[in-house]
Structure 1
Amino acid sequence: MIKTEIRNIIQRRTLGLVFVLGAASMAFAQQQPSATQQKFSVTGNVQDNAKSGIGYASLTFKNKQTAQLSDAALADVNGNFKIELAAGSYDVTIEAIDFKTKTQTIQIAKSGAIPAFVIQGNEVANLDKTTQIQGVVITAAAPKAYKVELDKKTYDPSQDIVSKGGNLQDVLSNVPSVSVDTDGTVSMRGNSNVKFLINGKPSSLLGIDDGANALQSIPADQIEKIEVITNPSSKFEASGTAGILNIILKKDKKMGFNGTVTGTLGYLPRTNLNANLNWRKGNWTWYVNGGGGYQKNESSSKNYMTRKDNPSTWDYTKNPFTQISNQDGETKREGDNYNLTAGVVHDLSDKTTINLSGMIRSFNNDSNTLNTYAEKTYSSAANFDNFLRNRNSFGNNKNFATQLDFGIDQKLDDNGQLLTASASYQTNKSDGTNQIVQNTFKNQILQTTGNSINNVDTDSKSDTFIGKLDYELPIGDHSKLEAGARYDYNKNTYDYFVNQSDDGGAYYTRYDFTSNTIYSENILGIYAQFKSKIGEKFGYQLGLRSETSKIDINFLSHDLATGAPIQNPEVKKDYTKLFPSVFLSYDIAKGNQVLLNYSRRIQRPRAFTMIPFMSFDDDRNYFRGNPNLNPTYENSFELGYAITKKKFTINPTLYYKKSEDEVNRFQYLDDKGAINTMPFNVGTETQYGLDLNGTYDPFSWWKMMLSADLYGYNNTGNMTLNGKYMDFSGDGFSYRLRLNTTFRPTKTFSFQVQSFYRGAEKTAMNNRKAMYGVDFGATQTLWKGNGTLAFNIRDIFNTRRMKNYTNTEDFVRDMEMQWQPRQFSLSLTYRFKQGEKVEQPKKKKDINSNYDGGDDQSPM
C-alpha cells in the first residue's frame, strides 16, 4: 500500500513539474551562437609549477571588446578544458582551490590549442579567507557556516546536512540565535515578534498568517543564506522587536547556463522536486527557481484542565459547569505546495541596471482532527455527570500568492554615488473550509445526549504595495551618507462564517461567530544615517528613522436575534514615531573587534489579533482579538565581541531589552467552562542575557558550531476584566543550547549530528517544561562532484514535544503538544553545465557598511 501510495504521489504531483523543468533546461542549454559571429574551438590545460594538471580549475574568458562574447569553462580532473570562443582579445581569470587566482590576457584568432596556464600554489589562500566588512578585516577559516558582521550574523545553509531536501522551517531550526517551536512559531532570543524578509523586503511567499505552512512551502535548496539581524539599524524598517530574519534566495552569477535539480523522498510520505536554473550571457541574466512537493504529517495534543472555584457558588439555572476536562487530540494533515520564481537582470549600461522578477506560490492542505473530551459536568452542587465528547474536524485550506518586483540601480558617478528605486506588488488569498461533527455521550456509555454539525468558512485576502528609494553618497575614503524613503500599503480582508445543525435538523447561522473585518494600514518611513571612522580602529554609524502609521479597521457583525448586519464603530489609529540607532565598533587587533549598538523598535499588532470575534475551531478554547491594541515599543542594547582565528571563531554578545505596552494574553473561564483568551497591552517586559555563538575546526575533517543563549527575564503588569484578576508579573532565568558537529571522513562523504536543549521557563502563570532533540544527516558526493546524495533523520528520539503548565485564578491546565513525529528523507541533487562565476563590480567597502550588496536586497 505504501509503495502504491508513493508511486501515485510521484505520478500526480511531480510528473508535470519534471516536464516543465526539463523543457526549460533544454531551452536554456541549447542556446546557439549567433550565425554572424564565427567561433573557434579552443583547448588548453591548467598546470602547477611542476607541470601537473590541476583538476576542476575554473576559467573565465572576458572579451575586452564585447561583453556578450564572454564565456567560462571548467577544467576536467586532469586540468584539460575546451571552449568555443569568437576571435578577439580576452582577459582570462583562472581559479582553483589552494592556488592563487591568476589573470592573463590572450588573443584568439583560430581553432586549436593555446599555451598552458600555470598558476602558483598558495597554502594560505584557502585556509584563511579575508573579507573586509564594515571597514574591519575579519579573517576566518574557510568555509564557515556562520559569519559575524557589524549589524548582522550570516548563516550559510549549504553546509547544513540535516536540512538537505527540507524546507525553511528545517533550516531555521539550526540558525544561531533562532528557535522554532513544535508548532512552527519562530523566535529570536525567546521573542516571537520576528520580522521576516525575503531578499530584503516583505514577501507574499510567507503569506498573511499561514505560520508553519508558509515556512514549509519554501525549499531549503532555494535558500542562499539567512541574515540574523538582532538589532537593526535605522535603514531597516522599525517593526519587529525581536529583530529581522532576512532570507536570501539563490540567484547565481555564473557565465553560461547552469543549475541544480533536487528530488526528495521521505516518510511520513513526502516528495519534493526543486530546480534552480540560471543563464548569463553578456549583460543579461535570467534565473528560474521552482518546485513542488507533497507531504503528510501527524500531530498530537493533550490538555488537562480543572476549575478552581467552588461548585456551591455556581448558578445552575443558566448552564451546567465543567469542573474537569481532559482533552486528547490527534491531527492528520496532507497537502501539496508549488512555487515558481523567475526574473531577469539587464545591464543597460555600465551605470544602469534594471531587474524584473515574478513569483507565484500555492499550497493546498487537507486535515482531519479528532478531539476526545472526558468531562465531569456539574448540574448542582452535589450532582455531576460524566460526558464523553468526540469532536471531529474535516478541514481544507487553499492558498495562492503572487508577487511582482521591479528595480533600477543608477550610478550617478564613478565615485560610488548610487540611487536605487524599487516597487513590489503582492497578493495573497487563503480560503478555508472546515466541517466539525460533534457527538456527546452521557456517563461515557452509548447514550447520545447531543449531536451537532458545524460548517466553518474562512476567506482572507491581502494586497500589498511597497515602494522605496535609497541614496548613497561616499564622502572621502571612510565615510558615507545614506538616506531613503519607503511607503507600505497593506489591506487585509477577513470573512468568517459559521452555521450549525443540531441532531440532524436544519442548518442555522451562528451569528455570534459570523463576521467580516477589513484591516488597512499605510506606513511612510524616512531615514538618514551617517557612517565614518575616527583613526584606523574606531568606527561609528548614527541613524534616525521616522515612521508615520495610519491604520483603519472596519468590523461588520450581526444581531444575534435577527441576523441583521451591524456596522461597528470604525477604529482609526494615526501616529508618528522616531527610531534612532547607534552602532560603534573598535578594532582591538586583527581578528578582534568590539561592537556596541542601540536601536529603538516597534511591534505593531498583527491584523488577526485585532479582530474582535471569536474563532470556532475548539469550543473549549476561544481566542478573541482586541481592536484597541496599541504597538509595543522596545529599546535594545547590545555589546558584542568578535574573535576570529584560523581554527575557531567566538562571538559573545551581551544584550538588554526593555519594552513598554507589552501585549499579554488574558485568560478566563466563561459560564460553560471554556477558556477564553484575549490580548491586552499590559505592563513591561525586560530581557537580558548572553548570546554566545562560536565555531571550532579541530581538524580539516571535523567542524563544530555552538550556539548558547543564557537569559533572564522580568515581567510586570496586572489587570482585572469582568471581575477576574490576572497578574502577569514574574521573573526567572533560562537557557537554550545547540551543538552542530560535522565529520568528513573522506573527500566525498560527510555526516552531521545536530542537538539542542531548551531549558524550562517559569512566569507567574505559566511553567514551560524543558525540551530537547537530536537530528542526523549524511551526504555522499557523486559523479565527480556533479551529484550529492543526502539522507537525514529529524528528531531521532521523538522528543520534540512542547509541555506547559498554566495556573490562573480560575483554573489550572497541563498541556502537551507534538507538531510532527520523527521523520526521515532521502534526496538527490544534480548540478549541470557549471558555468563559472563572473565577479560583479562591488560597492566600495567602508566602516559600518550595513549591507553587503546583492540584487534588490536593500533592507529599506
Structure 2
Amino acid sequence: MRLLCLLLLTFFAAPAAASPICVAGRLAETGSGKAIDFAEIYLFTGGNVRPARQTLPDEQGGFRLDSVDPGAYTLMIRLIGYDVLTREVALEHSAGTVDLGVLYLTPLENGIAEVEVVAARKQLVYKLDKKVVDASSNIMGGGGSAVDILENTPSVRVDAEGNLSFRGSSGFTVYVDGKPSVFSGSQALEQIPAGHIENIEIITTPSARHDAEGDVGIINVITKKHTQRGLSGTVNLSGSTALSRNVDFLLTRQNEASRWYAGGVWFDKLRKSDFEQQKTTVVDDLTTTSRSKGPRVGDNYNYTLKAGWAYALPRTSFSVDVEGGYRGNKRNGRLDYRESRFSQGTGDGEIGDYRSLDDYDNRETIGLGTVAVGHRFNDKGHELSASFYYKYGGGAVEYFQSDLFNLQGEREQGHRAWESEYRITARGNLDYVLPYSKTGKIEAGYQYYSYLEDSKYEMQFWNPETKTFYWRDDIYNTSYFRENVNSVYAILSENLRALEIQAGVRGEYTHTRLRSSIAGASRDKRRFEGFPSMHLGYTFPRGHRLLVSYSRRTTRPQLFYMEPYITFRDYYTAEIGNPDIRPEYIHSYELTYRKSFRDNNVSATFFHRSRRDKIERLRVPYEAGVTLDSMANVGHDYSTGVELTAVVRVARWWNTSLNGNLYYYKIRNELAAGGGRESSTNYDIMWNNAFDAGKNTRIQLDANFVGPSVTTQGRTDAFWYVNLAVRQQFFKRKLSATLSCRDLFGSARYVSDIRTADLQSLTRIRPKYPLIALTLGYVFNSFKAKTDPAKESHDLFEGTNH
C-alpha cells in the first residue's frame, strides 16, 4: 500500500510541473466512421527523427498526447493497410488542450491496384487494461487453434494435455467477440480455428466492466470481419502426421451500410502420445503396484456453421449472429498393465498381466444466437448499447468406457457410463457511457447471466460369471443445476495530462441450486459480493510508460466440480465431485513498465496474486489398485514474479523476441492429502525468431523451455522443445502454404510425480514424433479491394490426468 501511495504521489506531482498543453483527438475509418483502436500516433518536432511524444488510441479511437511544450509539430498516424496521415500542429503557451476532432484514416484501396504494402504487425500491444496478441504474426498457428497462437505469449504455458495456463493457473474465462464461449477454458480455445482469428486480448486484471469470473483474467478472441467493400473471403485446409485435419471458410460482403458473413468449420485436432505410469496404493494392509504403458490419442472436434448480419446507420448499429453444429472432445487409450499385490498381514502376493481399453467422448449439438444494438448520441463517446445471447446444447452425452482383458483376450472387468444432459446459457447486457468532460467519462451497466443443466447418470458393470453387463441401480443419479448471476458495475475514467486513471466496482448477486437424487447432495446457495478494480497509466517523456493495476476476482465451481457420483476415467482411475466446494477468491496486482524505440520495445511486468480456497484435483486411494480423483479447496496459494519481454529488429530480414517469466509459487496446504507448505521457483523462457527469406517467404523458429513446478501433492519436471515453420505465398499473396514441425528434436517430455503417505504415482508422457503439418490458405479481396469505381494461433501430449 505504501508503494502504491508513493506511485500515486509521484504521478500527481509530475504533471503539476509539466506544461499544461495537451493534444487530443479521435481516430476513425474513412467512409464507415468505425473507430480505430490500433494505430501508432507520433508527434515530431522539426528536423527530429525521434518523436517528442507517442501513444496508442483507446477502444473508442480517442487519444491524448500530454505535457507537450509550445512550438511547431508534425502529427503522424500510421497503421498497416491505411494511408499515413500527417498534420501540422502549432501549440501556443495558452493553448491548454488542443482538440483535433475526428481524424480519418483512409484504407489503401482506391487507385493503387499495383501497389502492395508488406509489413509485419506487432506481435504484442500493451494497453491500459489488456495485452493484444496479433494472430497473423505467429505462422506456427496456421491450421491450428487459438492455443497455438497463444503458445508464444509471455506467461502462457501449455501442459501435456494441451491445457493452457497463465502464471500457473488455468482459471481464465474465454470470450469470443466479447461474448461467452460455448465451452470453457482450454477446450474453448481449442475449438476456435486460427484462420478465423484477427487478434486475442489478454486481460489479466480486468476492470469492473468484465465478469468477475476467472482468477487470472479473461481471454477474448476477436474473429476476422473482412470489412473491405465488396465480397471478401478466406479458405484454409490443413492436415498433419497425427491425422489432424481442418477445413474452414469465411465469406463476408460489405456494402455501404450493411455487412453479412457466413462461415464454417470442419475441425479435428488430434494429439498422440506414448503413456507410461507406475502407481502404488496402500489400502488397509494391501499394497498394489500397477505399471501401465501404451499409446493415448485425444481429439478435439468441431463441425459448425455460422452466419451474421450487421447494419450501421450514422449513429445506430444493429447486428445478429447465429451458429449451430456439433462439438466435443474424445480420447482413448490402449495400455498394457502389470499388476502386483502384496498383503502385509498374510505375506501373500500375486502378479497379473492385462490389457486395458479406455474410451471417452463428450459431445454436444449446439445452437446459439446473439442480438446487439448500439447508439452513439454524439461523436464524443456518449453511447448506449445492449445485447442478448442465448445458447442451447441438446443431445449432450458424456460417455465413459473401460475394459480390462487378460492376455488371452478375455474380458475380466469392464464398465460403461452415460451422462445424458441438456444445457441452456443466457446472458443479457446493458451498457452506458457518458463523457462528463473532454478528458473523463463514466461507465455503468447491468448484466444478467443464467446457466441451466439437467442430466442423468447411469452405469453398467461387467459380470465375469455371466459374461454380461448389468445395470448398477445404486449408481443411477439424476441432477439439476442452475446458476443465476445479476451484476451491476460503475467505472470512472479520467486523463490528467500524462496520467490515465480508471477506477470501478462491480457487484454480483449469485444464486446456485443443485438438485440430486443422491440423498443429502442437494444444495442451495446465495451470496452478494463486491469486486473493485483500479488501473493507472503514466506516460513519461521519450516514450516511457508505466501501468499499475489491481483487480479482485473469483472462480465459481463448475458443475463437474460438484457432481456427487463416481465416474471412471479408466479401470484404475475413478473421479467424483464435491457438492460443498467453495469459490476461489483472488487479489491480483500488476506493475508494468514498457519502452518503445523505433521498431524495438521492451517491457517488464511485476505481479503478485494471492488466492484463497484454491480449487485443485486431489488423488487418493479408493480400492486396491484404484485411485479416486476429487475436487477440493486445498488451501491458499501465492504467486509473485516478473514477466520480461524484449522485441528487437536485429536486421531488416530478422525480428526476434525473448519472453521470460520468473515467479515464486507457494501453496499453503490445509488438507492431509497434500500436507504442509510447498513452494517452487517457476520459470519459462520463449525465444521467437521470424526471418524474411524473400518477398513472399517467411521462416519462424521458436524455442521453449518450461521449468519445473510444485503441485498440491507433488511436482512436474522441466521440459523443452523447438518448433519450426516455413510459409510461402503465391499469386500475389492470395495463396499461402505453411509447413510446420512441432517439437523439432523430439525433446518434449512430461513427467508428473505425486507422493503422499498412501499413494505414489509417477507419470511419463512423450508426444508422437514427428509432428508435421501442412496448411493451405486462400484469400480474396482481403489485402486490397478491386479497382471498381462503384465501391468505396505447448499442446504436444495426451493423457496427463491419469
Match of residue 54 from structure 2? none
Trace 1:216-615 onto structure 2 (pairs within 5 A).
Answer: 216-294=190-268, 296-307=270-281, 314=285, 321-332=286-297, 337-347=302-312, 349-363=313-327, 367-379=331-343, 380-429=345-394, 430-440=396-406, 451-503=412-464, 504-534=466-496, 536-557=497-518, 567-615=519-567
User: Quick check: 594-603 or 661-670, which moved more?
Assistant: 661-670
Amino acid at match of 1:438: L
Specify whether residues 98 and 369 from structure 1 end up closer, same or farther in structure 2 by C-alpha distance, changes over 3 A only: closer
Deviation sequence 1:61-83 (CA, Å, 0-9, x none): 9699xxxxxxxxxxxxxxxxxxx
Deviation sequence 1:676-698 (CA, Å, 0-9, x none): 22222232111100011231112
SS at match of 1:733: strand
Deviation sequence 1:634-661 (CA, Å, 0-9, x none): 1111111011111211110000111112
Distance 2:80 2:743 in 1: 39
Amino acid at match of 2:392: T
SS at match of 1:682: strand
- 2:404 and 2:571 in contact (8 A); partners too: no
Specify whether residues 273 and 469 from structure 1 end up closer, same or farther in structure 2 by C-alpha distance, changes over 3 A only: same
Match of residue 619 from structure 2? 667
Specify whether residues 581 and 398 from structure 1 end up closer, same or farther in structure 2 by C-alpha distance, changes over 3 A only: closer
Specify whether residues 674 and 364 from structure 1 end up closer, same or farther in structure 2 by C-alpha distance, changes over 3 A only: closer
Specify whether residues 574 and 818 from structure 1 end up closer, same or farther in structure 2 by C-alpha distance, changes over 3 A only: farther
Match of residue 180 from structure 1? 158
User: Quick check: 664-673 or 468-477, which moved more?
Assistant: 664-673
Distance 2:566 2:473 in 1: 11
Deviation sequence 1:480-506 (CA, Å, 0-9, x none): 100001110001233322112322434
Shift of 1:671: 4.2
Distance 2:315 2:378 in 1: 8
1:822 paired with 2:784, answer: no
Distance 1:63 1:615 in 2: 54
Distance 1:336 1:637 in 2: 37
Distance 1:545 1:330 in 2: 48
Amino acid at match of 2:381: G
Distance 2:203 2:379 in 1: 31
Match of residue 731 from structure 1? 679
SS at match of 2:557: coil
Shift of 1:391: 1.9
- 2:296 and 2:334 in contact (8 A); partners too: yes
SS at match of 2:149: helix
1:685 paired with 2:624, answer: no
SS at match of 1:815: strand
Shift of 1:353: 0.8
Match of residue 133 from structure 2? 155
Trace 1:724-803 onto structure 2 (pairs within 5 A).
Answer: 726-762=674-710, 765-803=713-751
Trace 1:166-177 onto structure 2 (pairs within 5 A).
Answer: 166-177=144-155
SS at match of 2:168: coil
Amino acid at match of 1:437: D
Deviation sequence 1:4-36 (CA, Å, 0-9, x none): xxxxxxxxxxxxxxxxxxxxxxxxxxxxxxxxx
Shift of 1:587: 1.1
SS at match of 2:209: coil
How many pairs does the alignment contain? 688
TM-score, normalization by structure 1 = 0.75
Distance 1:178 1:500 in 2: 41
Specify whether residues 760 and 365 from structure 1 end up closer, same or farther in structure 2 by C-alpha distance, changes over 3 A only: closer
Amino acid at match of 2:760: V
Specify whether residues 304 and 166 from structure 1 end up closer, same or farther in structure 2 by C-alpha distance, changes over 3 A only: same
1:696 paired with 2:648, answer: yes
Shift of 1:296: 4.9
SS at match of 1:683: strand
- 1:203 and 1:426 in contact (8 A); partners too: no
SS at match of 1:745: strand
SS at match of 2:570: coil
Deviation sequence 1:736-755 (CA, Å, 0-9, x none): 11111000021111100122
SS at match of 2:147: helix
SS at match of 1:609: helix
Amino acid at match of 1:170: D
Larger radius of gyration: 1
- 2:145 and 2:194 in contact (8 A); partners too: yes
Distance 2:82 2:370 in 1: 40
Moved over 6 A (4+): 94-99, 116-119
SS at match of 1:727: coil
Structure 2 runs not aligned, ≥5 long: 1-28, 34-77, 88-109, 787-802
Shift of 1:338: 1.7
Q: Aligned residues: percent identity?
A: 25
SS at match of 1:221: helix
Decide which of 812, 816, 822 is 2:760's aligned counterpart.
812
Deviation sequence 1:767-805 (CA, Å, 0-9, x none): 210011111111111102222121111221233332111
Distance 1:145 1:61 in 2: 26
- 2:278 and 2:291 in contact (8 A); partners too: yes
SS at match of 2:560: helix
User: Quick check: 380-389 or 462-471, which moved more?
Assistant: 380-389
Distance 1:160 1:659 in 2: 33
SS at match of 1:612: coil
SS at match of 2:417: strand
Specify whether residues 410 and 99 from structure 1 end up closer, same or farther in structure 2 by C-alpha distance, changes over 3 A only: closer
SS at match of 2:568: coil
- 1:729 and 1:763 in contact (8 A); partners too: no
Distance 1:769 1:626 in 2: 29
Distance 2:444 2:480 in 1: 33
Distance 1:639 1:223 in 2: 29
- 1:482 and 1:528 in contact (8 A); partners too: yes
Amino acid at match of 2:390: Y
Distance 1:699 1:636 in 2: 38
- 1:308 and 1:810 in contact (8 A); partners too: yes
1:621 paired with 2:582, answer: no
CA RMSD of aligned residues (A): 3.0
- 1:259 and 1:276 in contact (8 A); partners too: yes
- 2:415 and 2:460 in contact (8 A); partners too: yes
Distance 1:476 1:833 in 2: 41
Amino acid at match of 1:166: G
Amino acid at match of 1:323: T
SS at match of 1:251: coil
SS at match of 1:302: strand
Distance 2:299 2:494 in 1: 54
- 2:327 and 2:366 in contact (8 A); partners too: no
Specify whether residues 806 and 332 from structure 1 end up closer, same or farther in structure 2 by C-alpha distance, changes over 3 A only: closer
- 1:255 and 1:836 in contact (8 A); partners too: no
Distance 2:130 2:32 in 1: 38
- 2:208 and 2:533 in contact (8 A); partners too: yes
Distance 1:434 1:95 in 2: 51
